[in-house]
Structure 1
Amino acid sequence: MARRLFLHVGTPKSGTTFLQSVWWANRDALLEQGLLLPGRGVNHHYWASCVVRGGRQVDTIPAAGLAAWDELLAEVSAHPGDALISHELFSPAPDERAEAALRRLEAVADEVHVVLTARDLVRQIPAEWQQRTKHGRSQTYDAFLDMIQKDEQARFWRVQDVPGVLRRWGQGIPPERVHLVVLPPPGGPRTFLWDRLCELTGIDGTGMAERATRSNESLGLVEVETLRRLAGTLQDDGMPKSTQRLLKDFVAEQVLRTAEPEKIVVPARAYPWVVERAQQMVAELDGQGYDVLGDLAGLVPGSEPIPGRDAADVTDAEVADAAVAALARFVRHEELQRRRGRRRPPESSLRSRVRHGLARRWTALRARAGRS
């Protein structure tokens, strides 16, 4: 039976990819210090989150993933030290399923600790819209903002309403074992997040962060708009899960990324209600007795909007240029693969659809730009 079990449940876009990358890159070194990462990798923890959430999420994972949650618990039960399970998609679990998961965790560890990392809404809102677009959604930024303002049941709030997530995942857990890590504003200490997690788990993480192998980098405003229009084109034929993964892992992460992305911001017209909603969250959290690492007030954005263009102001010509640049990176990527002597797989319908979707969109936009 484990001594302590740390369950990191989110929030998405709060440094979770970075943390998981560091943890898994240093898994053996962490185990030497007594901290176990059960399972075979971050996907194992993702599959476990799907099983815990239940519903249609279970249909999206491979058959081997159906046993992931039980396998993680068995490993934790057999470990005498501390253990860590981490995935941001535990966060939206319904009340009853989160409670059932916590009771199972209590059966394999003397102490269960819940960890939530969080950032202010001014950073989270653009990041969530971008992430949805990477996964194949074609909703405009304005429509997304309108949805989350009017619908408190929107999935955005299932993962970004910090008091709600902590309420669900803190059921029956002493509040001092519910840990909220509030990231500092931009420009704060670069190692803040990693340092706080090391303090919490009692790990000497010196030098470990340098071994991070993955990050979830942001795209620029024009690139996200290009991806959004591409997703809309591909949705004409339906969007299977495999195509969504191709858009995120290949198109977004490799061929659309630029060195100096234009920041996506919360527009001035929406800023007051974002600040008000953040203040409501802090008021709900105050006095709950949770262990707060960082400044709770850091969840409230500054009083002035961050300057930046509206997503609706991106022009067809800008999208066309971004699509051409993406196609050029795609060609260079393929040529590099050949030069490295890698055997090229047969042309897949998925890659073909993405390439032809980009080309068709670029041709149409060039034509429209020429007429303007």
Structure 2
Amino acid sequence: MTAPFQLGRLPTLSRSTVDRQETLRTNPERLRTRWVTAEVLLLDRKLRTPVREGESSLATRKAVTFGDLPPKDALFLGEWEGVDYWSLPGEPDGEPELVPVRGSWGVREEIPKAGDELWVDLRAYGDQLDDRSAGLFTTAQALRNWHRQARYCARCGGRTERLQFGWATRCQSCGREEYPRTDPAIICLVHDDVDVNGEHVLLARQPVWPPGRYSVLAGFVEAGESLENCVTREIREEAGAEVWDVRYLGSQPWPFPRSIMLGFAARADASRPLTPADGEIEDARWVPRADVRAAFESHGEAVALTGGGTMILPGTSSIARVMLEAWAYADPGA
């Protein structure tokens, strides 16, 4: 008997090998002693990091080049195979040239190149990194984004100081401690109620997206709301569809700036009219499995949709793409 589809692989930014347990970052003596053999991941002002052309590993730097001890703004990322990894702000050397690459939306953009190093964006390049590098880059960006917003105390407005080598802050006025924030958001692949895995998937596009970009629906979890209730509410609000059989698929950190995407699947009646949210959803439609497969096989190029128009799939680093891939190539069932 055909089973409901599941994710066929880990989402790109969920891959990680690094040990980041609390006991490591709360042991200053250990971290300072191991600094001489540690590696540093640099992030520029746009949160890009260097990789060497044609390689899948980050181009990290030797920690000792930044001093005998961790600088005050160094963020500890974790340990892997006997090596500690940190993050620091940094920029390309000299006057880098700008080179064209395919960006996170499948469109061309320019990024800095210094020597044999490309300074890449996590959203666009994450899928090309190995598991260790993807996990380090994701963690570094999440922490850096949080610290940009955590300079002042949420209680009294006082200046904060960093604790645990970047994993906490403490207000210098009232002593309040705070830890990195993550905002939960659901993302749901809704298919029709035909057989086990359906024949059509509900896709939508926002007006600010590049032409032809479609994806599954998503939204933030509200205060006092369960994940399942959030799925039901968001799909109703954004597309006017009522869903059932809500089930969990998997998750992915999404540090843009501080979310975690919680993936679900659900069913809906494709015969009922859709009502896209005014000003938020430009178009919502039921797309047949054959069209989604054609989009995967187009290698990033737009494909014609059965109902008219064209479609480009979500970016390669998104959980939405992994969800759509799993559904598109699943056995429809009978």
TM-score, normalised to structure 2's length? 0.23
TM-score (norm 1): 0.21
If each structure's helix is expressed as a fraction of its own residues, which one has the higher value? Answer: 1
Looking at secondary structure, tell me which structure has more strand per residue. 2
